[in-house]
Amino acid sequence: MVSTNYDIIVVGAGIVGTSIAAHLSQTLAPHTRIALVAPAAQPAIDPEPFDPRVVALTDASRQLLEQLGVWRSVAEQRACPYRDMHVWDGEGAGHIEFSAHDLGRDTLGHIVEHRVLNQALERALELTAVERWQQPVSALLRQPDGSINGVELSTSETLQAPLIIAADGARSPLRKMAAIDERQWSYQQSAIVATVRSQAPHGLVARQRFMNTGPLALLPLIDTPQASDGHHCSIVWSADQAFADSLMALDDTEFCQALERHFERRLGTIEHVSTRHAFTLHQRHATRYAQPGLALVGDAAHSIHPLAGQGVNLGLLDVACLTRELQRAQERGLSTGEYATLRRYERQRMGHNLTMMAAMEGFKRLFGSRQPGLTLLRNRALSSVNTLPALKNLLAQQAMGLSL
């Protein structure tokens, strides 16, 4: 059996997996051997000009991507800044508006397509010394004391390291192999994503309407950094399952008409919709983020409702935190798999992630309620906060990751 030794093995090559592999390679001491275990990304073959899946990157996430040296590449391809955010209750008159100007900033964040971000991260990874293995993991290796010290690949080759980082997604095989429990439930909803062209320009404003069937967001896109007519948006329509199924069954013309009605024609006529995709929604949270020799990051540790677009941002905060703790451990001469180091990471990120997940669950239940009393209360609360600049700006800073 062939065995190769590393200092760190990262499993999973989505946005979070490639980010942490590249960040560790750049941050830790020279000659730190890092392996990334995941199939290489295949070139996208998509007739649509825009990727229907996008992420609303916070300023904290953008700063991390700048450290990785990939933000310039992302911005040169396609990253749409949004300067304002309008949120309103579709069952009443409550509303709140956030502005970058009020915070003394140029933007509240950027809307970036998954495809653009993945390609930039893959190119950055090629410039590092990270070694790539494309075979799937079939088992975790353990020492006699039970601590994890490597992985076995489907080819029976083994890779050994003091630390394995699981960045292999919401259904994380590594989390299951490590017998780490998770709490999960279905929202009984699906998120419909697509790109639309509207009659009125979006004006670099992110808009979201809350309805008792689920939230509907239209997020601004640009065609190129050099020229854009400002009429394209990415939609994320989270809807109760039966309603989502009925929306997916509509033809394009009928869907555009339904979108117009439910968005209260805020952007006029919806002139075109790309191919639609639907994803069932679940909330998952691992009961532990760490075991001796193992750390979970991103969706392998937590996945939440997309109503605030925080999933990838939480994963990138995991990346920043774990990298920082591993750098400190290395400076003290400790092993990369030191359990005390991984526990510090777990304590820092679990508390923050649970708070964010609880907040999103609260929003989902509050705006999904059909009780007249709650409808009146949430409308008054939204409009009241909109008149309190200090509180409103604090909420905006939290959402942007600026106070973390």
> Which pLDDT does position 403 carry in this prediction?
41
- Distance in angstroms (rounded) separating the CA atoms of residues 111 and 233: 10
Which residue, chain included where needed, has tokens 């509907």? 216
Q: Which structure tokens are listed for 306?
A: 């997309």
φ and ψ at residue 400, rounded to 5 degrees: -85, -5
For domain 3-41+48-400, is the CATH number 3.50.50.60? yes
Distances from the Cα of 171 to the Cαs of 136, 176, 387, in angstroms? Answer: 14, 8, 42
Q: Chain centroid to CA 148: how far? A: 27
Q: Give every strand in the sheet of 131-133, ordered side by side.
A: 131-133, 34-37, 8-11, 163-166, 294-296, 290-291
Closest by CA position to 178, among listed 136, 135, 140: 140
Per-residue model confidence as pLDDT tens for the chain (404 residues): 668 999 999 999 899 999 999 999 999 989 999 999 998 666 655 567 889 999 999 888 999 999 999 999 999 889 999 999 888 886 766 778 888 888 888 999 999 999 999 999 999 999 999 999 999 999 999 999 999 999 999 999 999 999 999 999 999 999 999 999 999 888 889 999 999 999 999 999 999 998 888 889 999 999 766 556 799 999 999 999 999 999 999 999 999 999 999 999 999 999 999 999 999 998 899 999 999 999 999 999 998 877 656 789 999 999 999 999 999 999 999 999 999 999 999 999 998 888 776 666 655 555 555 655 555 555 555 555 555 555 445 555 555 454 43
CA distance 183 to 174: 16
Give the N- to C-terminal CA distance of the chain in Å, as an integer.
Answer: 46
Q: What is the pLDDT of residue 138?
A: 96
Per-residue pLDDT, 304:
81
Q: What 8-state DSSP symbol labels residue 388?
A: -
Instruction: Please answer whether residues 404 and 320 qualify as being in contact, where contact means their C-beta atoms are separated by less than 8 angstroms.
Output: no
Q: Tokens 């920043």 correspond to what residue?
A: 320
Estimate to the nearest angstrom the gap between the alpha carbon of 394 and the chain centroid: 22
- 194, 191, 205: which is closest to 270 by C-alpha? 194
**Residue ranges per structural domain of the chain:** 3-41+48-400
**Residues forming a β-bridge with 277:** 193
Per-residue confidence (pLDDT) for residue 1, from 0 to 100: 60
Q: Which pLDDT score is estimated for 293?
A: 97
